[in-house]
């Protein structure tokens, strides 16, 4: 099984995929993240972990760069000219930042093997929130996400189907994420309370935290 982990940060998700016995271990794991510091930290952690993994050890390749392939010199996992394809592509709490999410989903579809699947933990919006004043502030003033990524739950599913994904599923887990995250931030001290208030405001603007998946037929 060949997997891609997009936006892996400092490597927690990579460690889970490689070392948690409850998760089928991939034969290869490819990752890409945009922050060079995160890439270095994750690389160090995975190098240390790799020595303790039983044989056969999975091949691991980590990259620092944009999640979306932009015809650059980087050896990019989603490079359409590459012969590499993957069984699973994961993007956890990051795709709403991509420029653009639609491009990423299209590039990922091409790189999936038949029967392969993409799964995302992502943010979209209640259909009634699209076009509201708060929505305008999110994209135009606070710049939390590119305007093109501000889609409703229904538009998200439609986009994936238009790209070619089948068995598209979207599950709204907002109430399991935003309230608890805001409480956690408020408990970290006054410096973090501003971010907690932003999370609360974000939810009040119609933001929905969702799990989305789809397959290539």
pLDDT score at 170: 98
pLDDT at 200 over 90: no
pLDDT score at 136: 72
The string of DSSP codes covering 142-171 is S-SS-GGG--BHHHHHHHHHHHT-EEEEEE
E strand residue ranges, the chain: 2-6, 28-33, 59-64, 86-92, 112-125, 166-172, 207-215
DSSP element (H, E) containing 8? none
> Hey, what are 186's tokens?
């408020």
Residue 2: DSSP 8-state: E
Cis upstream peptide for 117 (omega within 30°): no
Length of the chain: 217
Contacts with 108 (C-beta within 8 Å, 6 or more apart), sequence order: 4, 78, 89, 118
pLDDT score at 189: 84
pLDDT averaged over the chain? 92
Distance CA 156, CA 165 (A): 12
Closest CA to 33 of 10, 15, 7: 7
φ and ψ of 184, to 5 deg = -60, -45
Are 200 and 175 within 8 A, CB to CB? no
pLDDT score at 141: 64
What's the pLDDT tens digit per position in 146-195?
A: 889 989 999 999 999 999 999 999 999 999 999 999 999 999 888 888 88
pLDDT score at 29: 97
Pick the CATH number of 2-122+150-174+208-215 from 3.50.50.60, 3.20.20.370, 3.90.1150.10, 3.40.50.150: 3.40.50.150
What's the pLDDT tens digit per position in 5-44?
A: 999 999 999 999 999 989 889 999 999 999 999 999 999 9
Residue 127: other Cβ atoms inside 10 A: 14
Distance CA 117, CA 112 (A): 7
Which residue would you say has higher pLDDT here, 94 or 131?
94
Give the start-to-end residue ranges of the domains of the chain: 2-122+150-174+208-215
Distance CA 89, CA 72 (A): 21
């Amino acid at each position: 099984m060949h997997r891609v982990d997009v936006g892996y940060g400092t490597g927690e998700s990579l460690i889970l995929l490689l070392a948690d016995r409850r998760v089928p271990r991939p034969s290869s794991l490819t990752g890409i993240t945009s922050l060079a510091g995160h890439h270095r930290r994750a690389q160090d952690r995975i190098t240390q972990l790799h020595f303790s993994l039983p044989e056969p050890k999975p091949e691991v390749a980590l990259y620092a760069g944009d999640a979306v392939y932009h015809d650059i010199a980087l050896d990019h996992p989603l490079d359409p000219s590459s012969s590499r394809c993957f069984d699973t592509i994961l993007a956890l709490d990051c795709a709403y930042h991509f420029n653009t999410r639609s491009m990423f989903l299209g590039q990922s579809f091409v790189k999936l093997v038949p029967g392969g699947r993409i799964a995302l933990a992502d943010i979209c919006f209640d259909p009634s929130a699209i076009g509201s004043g708060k929505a305008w502030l999110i994209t135009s003033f606070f710049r939390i996400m590119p305007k093109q990524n501000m889609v409703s739950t229904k538009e998200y599913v439609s986009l994936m189907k238009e790209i070619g994904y089948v068995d598209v599923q979207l599950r709204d887990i907002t109430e399991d994420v935003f309230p608890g995250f805001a409480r956690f931030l408020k408990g970290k001290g006054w410096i973090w309370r501003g971010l907690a208030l932003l999370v609360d405001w974000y939810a009040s603007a119609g933001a929905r935290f969702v799990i989305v998946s789809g397959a290539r037929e």
